[in-house]
Structure 1
Amino acid sequence: MQDNTIRLDKWLWHARFVKTRSLAAKLVSGPGVRVNALPVSKPAAQVGAGDVLTFALGTRVVVVRVLACGVRRGPAPEAQALYEDMSPPPPPRDLSRPVPVAGGRPDKRDRRRFAASAPDRLD
């Protein structure tokens, strides 16, 4: 093994894309992780400086260029120095629809706002 490469799951954990290394391994084992446009399914795949990673994280697609391998899982500024974010910007939010607020049942005013934004059944 060369000194300038690191396991993919370990790098994702060092760069703080996932909370645990086992979650990083699950992410890589599932479909959709690519290194330099080639699909990868093994967490032990090696990545190094200059490699481009593409993977789905939640509802967005993340595209990053690896700048360094990293030695440890340090604080966020140290983790952000390991990669260059090349992800496309997220689509703009649809402000015409109200967003439910987490924390319980909507009150009467919220229900009226939701009903007003919904299309009429007769239309």
Structure 2
Amino acid sequence: MVWDKHAAASYARQHAGSSSHSRCAEFTRIAINAGGGEISNTRHAKDYCAVLEAAGFRPIGPGESPRVGDVVVIQPYTGGNPSGHMAIFDGTNWYSDFRQRDMWAGPGYRSARPAYKIYRKN
């Protein structure tokens, strides 16, 4: 299947809830697959870097702005969810299992600003 970043972003937008249900990786993975990304499952959001790269996604460079279909994988921070976080961008908003205020998905991530990578598939 050919990668359709707009279909993936649309799926995420249509299926996101109003608040988190701690299922960010599952919802993001399903959205990617709905767009033809064909990625496998891992237990934790933080572990999707290798899975995304195996599916042809590549980290964007420093200073590059996110685009439709880009996926962020955020590592955990002390005191936060040990699974980390994952979300997809629709060109305006970030979505995981909910519509996020920003890429950071919550005050803990926003404050701690742990390591992250944004991936893009062309």
TM-score with structure 1 length normalisation?
0.28
- Higher relative CO (Cα under 8 Å, sequence separation at least 6) belongs to 2
- Rg bigger for which structure? 1
TM-score with structure 2 length normalisation?
0.28
Structure holding more strand per residue: 1
Structure holding more helix per residue: 2
